[in-house]
Amino acid sequence: MQKPIIIGITGGIGGGKSTFSEFLRECGELVFDTDLEAKNIQDIDSKTIFEIKNLFGEKIYTEKGLDRVTVAKIVFNDKKKLYELNEIIHPKVKNRFKEWVKKHSDRKYLFMECAILYEAGFDAFVDKVVVVTAPEDIRIRRVILRDGLDEKQVRERIKNQIPDEEKITKANWVVNTDNCRKNIECVKDFLEMINS
């Protein structure tokens, strides 16, 4: 039995990765969302919760769960804490991904959505990569509307990511979500292209 071709979906903040992934799902494809999986692990895995409390203090978890806003502020200014947090979370996400791939080994394609595909070494788990992108001004506008951040905050986040231009040099395909008549058309065109 042939194993599935695993395609990583990456790109900078506001590029349209999540929308692209959602449309892939609507077309019947399976997409593993690394961000969502990391959040699930942080919220329900007791060992992870214990490790995160050791890293940031007991009060980092409230009755609503992990205080992600505070964590983001801390790790944005403290690269050592970011590294330590990633050392807690990333191996667990990678293990869950491997289990997910085994569970769906009958598929032709499997997709992994991962903003930090290269930064976190998730590219080692994929066969091909698609970069989903848009012009920076559109990305900034999207994130301001989606997350309620101001332009300066969005630009800081963009600055802390590998530029899309660099990711594109490593990619097999590029999808510009600004050029699509409708995003679903981008996905249909992409699926047609990889199947031809």
- Binned at pLDDT 50, 70 and 90, residue 1 comes out as low
Instruction: Answer yes or no: is 39 a known binding residue.
Output: no
Ordered DSSP codes for 125-170? G-SEEEEEE--HHHHHHHHHHHH---HHHHHHHHHTS--HHHHHHH
Convert the pLDDT of each residue in 146-164 to its tens digit. 888 889 888 888 888 889 8
Domains and CATH numbers, the chain: 1-30+104-196 (3.40.50.300), 37-93 (no CATH)
**Residues 7 and 123 sit within 8 Å (Cβ to Cβ):** no
- Is 10 within any annotated ligand binding site? no
16 is in an annotated binding site: yes
Global model pTM greater than 0.75: yes
- 18 annotated ligand binder: yes
